[in-house]
């Protein structure tokens, strides 16, 4: 039998006011295994903890029950105190007589009676507690960053600067991401490429960073500190070691009609291409779907013109297997498809574009060389209408229920830039609310209105109708004037909702990281652990976690990097000892437990088992303590009761049930 000490805390008057603490001590002392019981005003104080040490020394306690506040508050405190006193920390249980008792019950009799029962339940549990010892697992000192946009680049740079190796996996041919597609950035209006390119170069040049572009994560196994990842390096059809990036192949390529992904489909590119001029690496890829050589076997002009002999039509996908201690997910976003929004005529008129497309139109390297013109006829527009909240804040299945957060600001930016460069163009913005929380954000918006004369109208656009003369009829409401208005516009720009990049879903499955209903990765805690995934060793960077602008993304990327660095700085990880454990003698090897394990922590071995003298080879479950997080799903799935959870064992919980019901 255990020798249990019970310590009842007054918590000043927080507990003592509605629980007769002395009575709890008296009743607890009567329990068979209790050899010591006392009360103290503040158990969590130094003096309170000293009481524990003293009682352990004097009475030879083997288990401790502290009747106090929630274990979520001070369980760790008392476990440490026990450890210092020479008792295994897992021999401590807390009876929550504050949050679950004294604070909610006014009647002292009721409160005392309940506190006594809660104490008994904790005593009953401790009776069955066993010392537990945290395990250790090693940490591979290398991080993987998935996604090579500004979030991924920043995280990688920060981790690498701390002295750890980092690999970036980017699915497109170049790093840079969405930010590379932007023309200017708010609220400073500096050129996006001018601030991004140096970062890209820095990442490429960093001795600790390896960049796998045109590559995707194929398989992830392992656990925090020890992930094994298969990366598929797609065949570029170019030998990157030979390519000089001269660009002649792209000029000479006969297939030039593929839509440019980088220009959002507004311009074309050759079959052999680098997405944009500053691409890193500056090594083209051959789009095998478009390449004449691959389609017909003829052509091969790029190979002929390549002085370096870098073209390799035979190149195959390559699988690279690498170990990582931490993974940063920075998969970013895309804009939603507008197929379901017929009323905005996006699919009917070339002059209705998304804001991201406008970025390309405004950009000097874009399809119009930076000239603001209608994509249908190249004419200079006289009136541009911006529509806010297209697909954002929608509760129907067409759009997204959340606010995309960045649209108000970039629309103000676009309006301002247009008015600045082309003062003759009239700009009207239809908004529902203008949301500008951020440093210098509202000032920026006000400048658009006050200094640049952008016309903001509160009211949503109901319909955009292409007219026979090529103009667009915009029908909207002006809620402040309570009027319905019809405007003639030459271009309409839709502030299209953003959504997580579709690649995140299969990735989340591979990572066993949870995602929310909108496919954003879930953070471990929305306030206190916003850059960590609930799955240990996975960190979140950028829009994959939720909509955010560039400064926020960079800030979060840095935060994720710090968390990853914190992990990589450790040589060993201690693992939570409250893990599942299979009793080999009872295990059927049926795999039911493995089917419900969210962490893939259960595997099977065929072992020679000696079952009370019967020796036979049996398939039995083995739990990987480093992977197991202790949820207990397996323990209930297991019909024979072979699987049990240490610290919350079947018998412990049953003892608590019995103590409460007696």
Partner 1 sequence: MPVNEKTGEFTPKIVAFCCNWCSYAGADLAGSSRLAYPAEVKIIRVPCSCRVNPMFILRAFEKGADGVIICGCHPGDCHYSTGNYYARRRMTLLFSMLDYLGVESGRTRVEWVSAAEGVKFSTTMNEFAAKIHELGPNVRLEDLRCKNN
Partner 2 sequence: MAMMKITREAMPALYARIAAEQSLILPVKTAGQTNFAAWEEGADVDLYTLKTVKSAKDAFFPQSENLYTCKTEDKKITVTPEKLTDEHFVLFGIKACDLRGIEVLDKVFLSEPIDTFYAARRAHGTVVALACAAPSESCFCHAFGIDPTAPAGADVVIWPVGDSFMWQAQTEKGEALTVLAGDLLTAAAAEDETALENARTFTKNIMTKLPYADLSLEGWGAGKTDEKFNSPVWDTLYKSCLACGTCTFVCPTCQCYDIKDYTTGNGVQRFRCWDSCMYSDFTMMAHGNNRTSQMQRFRQRFMHKLVYFPTNNDGMFSCVGCGRCVDKCPASLNIVKVIRAFEKAEKGETK
Partner 3 sequence: MSNVSKTERQAAMIREISGANPAKCMKCGKCSATCPAFDEMDIKPHQFVSYVQDGNIEALAASKSLWKCLSCFACIERCPRNVKPAKLIDAARQIVEREKGGDYLSPDEIPALLDPELPQQLLVSAFRRYRR
Residues that bind partner 3 (CB under 8 A): 343, 389, 393-396, 398-399, 432, 458-463, 475-479, 482, 484
Q: Does 661 bind partner 2 (CB under 8 A)?
A: yes
- Using CB under 8 A as the binding rule, whether residue 614 contacts partner 2 is answered as yes
Residue numbers of the site for partner 1 (CB under 8 A)? 70-73, 96, 98-101, 103-107, 110-111, 113-114, 117-118, 121, 512-514, 516-517, 522, 534-535, 578, 596, 598, 629-633, 635-637, 645, 648, 650, 653-654, 656-658, 660-662
Minimum distance, C-beta of residue 500 to partner 3, in the bound complex (Å):
20
> Which option in partner 3, partner 2, partner 1, none does residue 396 bind, with CB closer than 5 to 8 A by kind?
partner 3
| SS3 per residue for 21-34 | HHHHHHHHHCCCCE
DSSP summary character for residue 108? H
Task: Specify the residue, 440 or 484, whose C-beta has the smaller distance to partner 3.
Answer: 484
3-state secondary structure of 423: coil
Residue 20 C-beta: closest distance to partner 1, Å: 14
Residue 658 found at the interface with partner 2 (CB under 8 A):
yes
Minimum CB distance to partner 2 smaller for 343 or for 611 = 611
Among partner 3, partner 2, partner 1, none, residue 633 binds (CB under 5-8 Å by kind): partner 1
- Residue 346: which of 488, 499, 472 has the closest Cα? 472
> Closer CB to partner 1, residue 114 or residue 414?
114
Comparing CB distances to partner 3, the nearer of 101 and 489 is 489
CB of 396 to partner 3, least distance (A): 5
Q: Provide, rounded to whole angstroms, the least separation between the CB of residue 662 and partner 2.
A: 3
Toward partner 3, which CB reaches closer, 300 or 462? Answer: 462
What are the structure tokens assigned to 580, written together? 């599942």
Handedness of CA 559, 564, 569, 574 (dihedral sign): positive
Output the DSSP codes for 263-294.
TTTSSEE-SEE-SSTT-SS---EE-TTT-HHH
x/- binding map, residues 459-478, to partner 2, per CB under 8 A?
--------------------
Residue 636 binding target from partner 1, partner 3, partner 2, none, CB below 5 to 8 Å by type: partner 1
Angle among Cα 298, 299, 300 to the nearest 5 degrees reads: 110
Q: CA-to-CA distance for 348 and 438, rounded, in angstroms?
A: 36
Using alpha carbons, list the distances in angstroms from residue 417 to 188, 237, 423, 425, 433.
11, 41, 10, 11, 21
458 binds, among partner 3, partner 2, partner 1, none (CB under 5 to 8 A by kind): partner 3
Helix, strand, coil percentages (3-state) for the chain, rounded to 5, are 30, 25, 45
Least distance to partner 2, CB of residue 34, Å: 9
* Residue 118 touches which of partner 2, partner 1, partner 3, none (Cβ within 5-8 Å per kind): partner 1
CA nearest neighbour of 157 among 518, 454, 561: 561
Find which of partner 3, partner 1, partner 2, none residue 30 binds, CB within 5 to 8 Å per kind: partner 2
State the pairing for strand pair 318-324/285-286. Answer: unpaired
The C-alpha atoms of residue 436 and residue 447 are separated, in whole angstroms, by 13
By CB under 8 A, the residues from 241 to 280 that bind partner 2 are: none
**Can you count the helices (H) and strands (E) in the chain?**
17, 34
Q: Closer to partner 1 at the Cβ: 358 or 623?
A: 623
- Nearer CB in complex with partner 3: 460/588: 460
- Quick one: what does residue 71 bind among partner 2, partner 3, partner 1, none, with the CB cut-off 5 to 8 Å set by partner type? partner 1
Q: Across the beta sheet with 215-223, what order do the strands follow?
A: 215-223, 226-233, 318-324
Q: Nearest distance from residue 427's CB to partner 1, in Å?
A: 41
Task: Decide if residue 613 touches partner 2 (CB under 8 A).
Answer: yes
Sign of CA dihedral 101, 105, 106, 110: negative
Dig out the tokens for 298 from the structure. Answer: 């003829």
C-alpha neighbours within 13 Å on the C-beta side of residue 662: 12
CB-nearer residue toward partner 2: 271 or 659 = 659
Question: Is residue 659 near partner 2 by the rule CB under 8 A?
Answer: yes
Please identify, using beta-carbon distances, which residue of 340 and 421 lies nearer to partner 3: 340
Q: Which of 124, 119, 127 has the alpha carbon at shortest distance from 656? A: 124
Q: Which CB, 347 or 484, lies closer to partner 3?
A: 484
Give the dihedral sign, CA 430/431/434/435. negative
Alpha-carbon distance of 95 to 69, in angstroms, equals 8
Instruction: Number of residues interacting with partner 2: please give it, by CB under 8 A.
Output: 11
Residues 22-51 that bind partner 2 (CB under 8 A): 30-32
**Which tokens is 654 given?**
């049953």
Residues that bind partner 2 (CB under 8 A): 30-32, 611-614, 658-659, 661-662
């Amino acid at each position: 039998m255990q020798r249990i000490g019970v310590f009842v805390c007054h918590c000043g008057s927080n507990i003592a006011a509605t629980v007769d603490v002395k009575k709890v001590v008296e009743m607890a002392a009567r329990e068979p295994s209790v050899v010591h019981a006392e009360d103290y005003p503040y158990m969590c104080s130094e003096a309170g903890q000293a009481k524990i040490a003293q009682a352990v020394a004097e009475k030879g306690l083997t288990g401790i029950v502290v009747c106090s506040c929630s274990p979520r508050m001070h369980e760790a405190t008392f476990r440490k105190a026990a450890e210092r006193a020479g008792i295994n920390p897992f021999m401590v249980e807390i009876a929550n007589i504050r949050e679950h008792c004294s604070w909610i019950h006014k009647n002292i009799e009721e409160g005392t009676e309940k506190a006594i029962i809660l104490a008994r339940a904790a005593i009953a549990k401790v009776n069955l507690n066993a010392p537990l010892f945290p395990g250790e697992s090693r940490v591979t000192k290398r991080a993987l960053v998935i996604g090579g946009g500004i979030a991924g680049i920043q995280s990688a740079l920060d981790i690498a600067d701390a002295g750890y190796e980092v690999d970036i996996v980017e699915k497109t041919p170049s790093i840079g991401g969405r930010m590379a597609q932007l023309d200017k950035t708010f609220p400073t209006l500096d050129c996006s490429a001018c601030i991004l390119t140096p970062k890209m170069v820095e990442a490429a040049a960093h001795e600790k960073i390896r960049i796998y572009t045109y590559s995707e994560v194929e398989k992830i196994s392992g656990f925090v500190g020890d992930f094994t990842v298969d990366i598929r390096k797609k065949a570029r059809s170019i030998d990157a070691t030979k390519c000089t990036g001269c660009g002649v192949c792209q000029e000479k390529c006969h297939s030039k009609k593929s839509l440019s992904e980088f220009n959002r489909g507004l311009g074309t590119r050759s079959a052999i291409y680098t997405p944009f001029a500053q691409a890193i690496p500056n090594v083209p890829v051959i789009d095998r779907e478009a390449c004449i050589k691959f389609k017909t076997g003829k052509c091969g002009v790029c190979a002929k013109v390549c002085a370096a002999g870098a073209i390799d039509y035979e190149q195959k996908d390559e699988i690279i297997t690498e170990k990582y201690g931490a993974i940063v997910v920075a998969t970013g976003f895309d804009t939603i498809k507008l197929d379901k929004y017929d009323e905005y005529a996006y699919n009917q008129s070339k002059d209705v574009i998304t804001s991201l497309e406008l970025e390309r139109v405004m950009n000097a390297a874009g399809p119009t060389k930076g000239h603001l013109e209608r994509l249908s006829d190249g004419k200079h527009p006289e009136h541009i209408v911006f529509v806010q909240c297209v697909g954002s804040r929608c509760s129907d299945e067409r759009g997204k229920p959340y606010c995309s957060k960045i649209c108000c600001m970039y629309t103000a930016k676009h309006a301002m830039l247009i008015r600045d460069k082309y003062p003759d163009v009239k700009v009207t913005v239809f908004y529902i609310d203008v949301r500008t929380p951020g440093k210098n954000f509202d000032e920026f918006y006000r400048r658009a209105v006050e200094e640049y004369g952008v016309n903001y109208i509160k009211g949503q656009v109901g319909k955009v109708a292409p007219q026979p003369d090529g103009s667009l009829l915009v029908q909207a409401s002006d809620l402040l004037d309570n009027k319905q208005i019809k405007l003639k516009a030459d271009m309409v720009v839709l502030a299209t909702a953003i959504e997580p990049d579709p690649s995140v879903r299969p990735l989340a499955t591979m990572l066993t990281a949870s995602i929310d209903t909108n496919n954003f990765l879930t953070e471990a805690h929305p306030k206190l652990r916003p850059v960590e995934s609930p799955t240990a060793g996975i960190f979140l960077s950028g829009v994959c976690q939720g909509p955010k602008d560039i400064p926020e993304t960079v800030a979060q990327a840095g935060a994720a990097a710090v968390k990853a660095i914190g992990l990589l700085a450790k040589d060993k990880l201690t693992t939570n000892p409250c893990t599942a454990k299979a009793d080999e003698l009872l295990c059927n090897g049926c795999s039911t437990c493995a089917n419900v394990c969210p962490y893939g922590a259960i595997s099977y071995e065929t072992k020679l088992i000696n079952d009370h003298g019967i020796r036979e080879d049996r398939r039995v479950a083995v739990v990987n303590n480093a992977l197991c997080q202790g949820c207990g799903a397996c323990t209930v799935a297991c019909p024979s009761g072979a699987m049990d959870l240490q610290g919350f064992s079947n018998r412990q919980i049953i003892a608590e049930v019995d103590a409460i019901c007696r």
